[in-house]
Chain A
Amino acid sequence: MIDRRHFMLASAASVGALAGGLSARAQELPTSYPADYKAIVEKARAEGVVSIYTSTDDVQGRPVVEAFQKAFPGIRVDYNDLGTNGAYNRIISEAAAKQVGSDVVWTSAMDLQMVLAQKGLAEAYKSPEAGHLPGWGNFNDMLYGTTVEPVGILYNKAQLASFKLPKTRAELLAFMRDNKDALKGKLATFDPEKSGTGFLFFSNDAKTMPDTFELVRAFGATEGKTYGSSGAMREKIVSGEHWLAFNIIASYAIEWAAKNPALGYILTSDHTAAFSRVANISKGAPHPNAARVFLDFLLAHSGQSALASVGAPSIRTDVTTGLNLTRLTEMANGNLKPIPVSTALLEPTEPKNRADFFRRWKEALRG
């Protein structure tokens, strides 16, 4: 009993010391930050809370949230994983009810985030970290890309041992066409109908790659299956039900392949698209200063390192944890094509264009 209490006291003390040390360190802000930034942090601390609406699941979001809380003790993070549509729907409902609940919106639905900006539901804010981002990752100092996540292939090594693996998009098309019968029911990809991310990938492909619907047609001819998430596809590739999934989030695939020797990943060397999780501050955010501090942290070296440590590669070039923009560009043979955070994202969301896309998608999927 006594031992146990001692232990508890000791650990409480060490936690206290740790927190003390951290809060001391937390005061050190980069010199590049404006002089009045300390005042913002003070106000943020007075607000006490920052509420995040996100589509990033807890497992992936936790390291950056924890790092934030260590850096800024006293600001609690309310982390709401609502999915892309859930977050979007909640934001517009709350805005209409004049009860904005989100401070920072951070989702992978680049297009929906752009719609929010267009609807006037995003607040412009010049982050002191903005200079570290590539131009395509910053929209009018309002929407900021926080990651660069390649789109690629995950496969089961054992099942594909006897095949020549496709290294380019053209080879992928040929691979599907040449092995149409052998691959029957063995391929998987994102479903643009079920998933906003899937829609983003394929609508972007349709814009940038002329052979997109040819690829979908070849995939349809193998009677491939479509899924609503990368995780669901991983499950099927691991078990061997599917052999290869394309247009999935390859930064996850890289992590999975590192952990499970049965899995392999491919970034097509002629063209590898990449998307970015976009963050913005909500118009009328209940905790505007905490929102700024959190957004800045997401983009800062330490926040980016935390993100990159769990498979969300850094959009910066100076982050050494995990993958970053430079490293990914190399891995994609110099052909990494990030989707820019720009108004061009709105085009596929226009009802007419959307309907057009799905008409072509369904037609191609019949094989």
Chain B
Amino acid sequence: MSLAAQAPRFRATVILTLFVMVAAPAALIIYQSFLSAPFFDESARISLEAYEFILTDPEFYRALWTTTLYAVGMVVVAVPLGGLLAFLITRTDLKGRGWLEPLVLVPMFLSSIVLAFGYTVAVGPSGFVTIAFRSVFGAAPWSIYTLPGIILIGGLSHVPTVYLYVASAMRRLPSDLEEAARAAGASIWRVSLDVTLPMVLPALVFSAALNLLLGFETFGIPLVLGDPNGILVLTTYIYKVNTIFGAPTYQVMAAVTVFLILITLPLVFIQRRLLRHARRFAAVGGKGARTNLLKLGGTGQVIALSIIGLWLLVSVVLPVGGVILRAFVENWGEGVRLSEQLTLANFQRVLELPSLSRGIINTILLAAVGGALAVAFYLLVGLAGHRNHGRTGTLLDYSVLIPRALPGLIVGLAFFWLFLFVPFLVPLRTTLFSLLIAYIIVGLSYGLRIIQATLLQVAPELEESARTAGATTFRTWRDVVIPLVRPGLAGAWAMIMIVFLREYATGVYLMSAGTEVIGSLMVSLLTSGAMDQIAALSFISILLTAIGLTLAMRLGAKIHD
């Protein structure tokens, strides 16, 4: 067979493999939801019992309602704030915007379980700040374990997601319209609302849809902050349903997941649409438009910096500071002097415990080595889809969408089953490969987007000229495309590394002795209430993320879309 004929075959093989990897867990979940018992149980038969149960369970409706409020509330908090921050940092002459930008993105890189834990120990009812505040003012007038509290924290932590999309849209805008408005005497506030805002509306709508989706799938924040008051969202309902029954009720978990998919899949489709439109819209600006920054003026600077400072304080300093402090103390409370309590005991214990110290090593391995393997895999998929306008290209498009609609917790559970019951996968179950494969699927859409963006930077002319000169598709990829995207791949690796570092939900059901990872360990430690270890692990997680970020910046990773 000629080399030229191999490219379609390569494309079809890669894309079909991916499709199976993505569809198998989803199909298993859907099948499980229509059974009366775990699918592997002999007594299992086709039944609608699970749906009957959830549809008559008031707890389910409450969780559904709470989830909706949470998702919408998150959008209401995150979108205006993210938009405002993006405007201030990209369109104005704000002081220090160069170093503010990476800071603004920090919450995005941290695992939400770490963030939530940070809030608990900082501003929870027995948090450091709460206690200090109470000792001065007599009472602390906030409560983060309430739905509004959870929504606020969820919203604040998703500001960076909005920021990313809106900022990149704003950067592409020419500044002549804003300048014209300014010259005509409009205030900066007026300019931002009447000129900039309409032009980035598609990006705002897109990030709203994205946050809505993330809101429905959220797990870490409600798990940590909602639990003490019994506030359940759909994902935590799924997680808790086993305990409520006192026996495995996989069919109920699956049925709730199917509901979740019914909500999230349309959102995924809407997003895809919006993204296309947004790109088209932004292209109007044309290339090389000169951007002149809007002058904020003295008062403007102060106000703008105060807004950003306050947001940073609440979204970064409080949770991260809380984790750092809690990691180094064992006792605190009213009348306890923290300076006398400083200790390394929490870390000592983590290092002494084989499962926890192994968890740290595994997390690093999965992020660094696994991240590289994932990039290689995404590159294969990216190449298979690169300028592929055939049927397999469409299949690829849809394959990428499926895992977006599934919460990581469930992807992990489905893979646990696949590794248990699919004979040739069995030997992998107790190795890190099982986690890596699940991580690759969970990170698929994000990872592929980075790779695709990199691949698209290679001008088609280059590929075409290679092809005209007689090179096969493979040769073109090997000699033209891959060398050109290599620097982009290093950046992509760093970004995937950070994504894998912060992952926690996927491993909850999948990990076993020897394959522990930090994030999932924290989820299981939450059940036993081992806060000292959680604090130490959170601290280590933050540290690793910081290292990953530094590396990413060194490698010139493109955080922007």
Contact = CB atoms under 8 A, between A and B. Distances in A.
Interface string A85-124: 1101100111011010100000000011001000000000
A214 interface: no
Given A59-B353, A83-B527, A241-B125, A193 B333 contact: no
A227 interface: yes
Interface in B199-233: 227-230
Contacts of B509: 86
A367 interface: no
Interface string A169-196: 0000000000000000000000001111
A81 B355 contact: yes
B38 A96 contact: yes
B525 A193 contact: no
A85 B243 contact: yes
A332 B527 CA distance: 28
Given A57-B528, A235-B531, A240-B334, A79 B125 contact: no
Contacts of B244: 193
Nearest to B126: A239
Contacts, number: 120
A114 to B, nearest CB: 12
Contacts of B240: 193-194
A284 interface: no
Contacts of A62: 352-353
A241 B247 CA distance: 33
A14 B509 CA distance: 41
Given A59-B353, A238-B333, A239-B131, A93 B513 contact: no
A43 interface: no
Contacts of B242: 85, 89
Interface in B234-249: 240, 242-248
Contacts of B243: 85, 193-196
Contacts of B421: 97
A231 B513 contact: no
Nearest to B42: A96
Contacts of B527: 83, 195, 228-229
Given A93-B420, A349-B246, A78 B531 contact: no
Contacts of B430: 101
B333 A82 contact: no
A26 interface: no
Nearest to A85: B242
B38 A93 contact: yes
> Interface size class for chain B?
35 or more
Interface string B521-558: 00011011111010000000000000000000000000
A83 B528 contact: yes
B530 A59 contact: yes
Interface of B is mostly: helix
Contact of B38 (A92, A194, A226): A92
Given A89-B242, A96-B41, A101 B512 contact: yes
A112 B242 CA distance: 12
A106 to B, nearest CB: 13
A271 interface: no
A51 interface: yes
B524 A88 contact: no
A354 B529 contact: no
B228 A83 contact: no
A2 B164 CA distance: 54
A158 B335 CA distance: 11
B349 interface: yes
Contacts of A260: 331
Interface in A183-237: 193-196, 199, 225-236
B227 A82 contact: no
A99 B426 CA distance: 9
B478 to A, nearest CB: 42
Contact of A78 (B227, B332, B353, B514): B514
Interface string A238-268: 1111000000000000000000101000000
Interface string B103-131: 00000000000000000000001100001
Contact of A235 (B126, B227, B334, B420): B126
A318 interface: no
B355 A79 contact: yes
Nearest to A95: B40
A93 B529 CA distance: 26
Contacts of B229: 225
Nearest to B227: A228
A231 B530 contact: yes
Contacts of A158: 335
Contact of A79 (B41, B513, B524, B529): B513
Nearest to A88: B248
Given A59-B353, A62-B353, A89-B248, A78 B126 contact: no
A356 interface: no
Given A228-B527, A239-B126, A96 B355 contact: no
A58 interface: yes
Interface string B406-448: 0000000000110011000010001000000000000000000
B266 interface: no
B40 A80 contact: no
Contacts of A94: 420
B38 A58 contact: no
Nearest to A96: B40
Contact of A233 (B354, B356, B417, B529): B529
Contact of B524 (A82, A226, A230): A82
A260 B329 CA distance: 13
B420 A232 contact: no
24 contacts: A58-B354, A59-B349, A59-B353, A62-B352, A78-B514, A79-B354, A82-B524, A85-B242, A89-B242, A89-B248, A92-B38, A97-B40, A158-B335, A199-B246, A225-B228, A228-B227, A228-B527, A231-B528, A236-B125, A238-B333, A349-B246, A349-B247, A354-B245, A354-B246
Given A101-B512, A239-B125, 14 more contacts: A58-B355, A78-B514, A80-B512, A83-B527, A88-B248, A93-B248, A99-B426, A225-B228, A234-B529, A238-B333, A239-B131, A239-B332, A239-B333, A240-B334
Interface pairs A-B: 10 shortest CB-CB: A231-B529, A239-B126, A229-B529, A96-B40, A232-B529, A78-B513, A58-B353, A239-B333, A241-B126, A97-B420
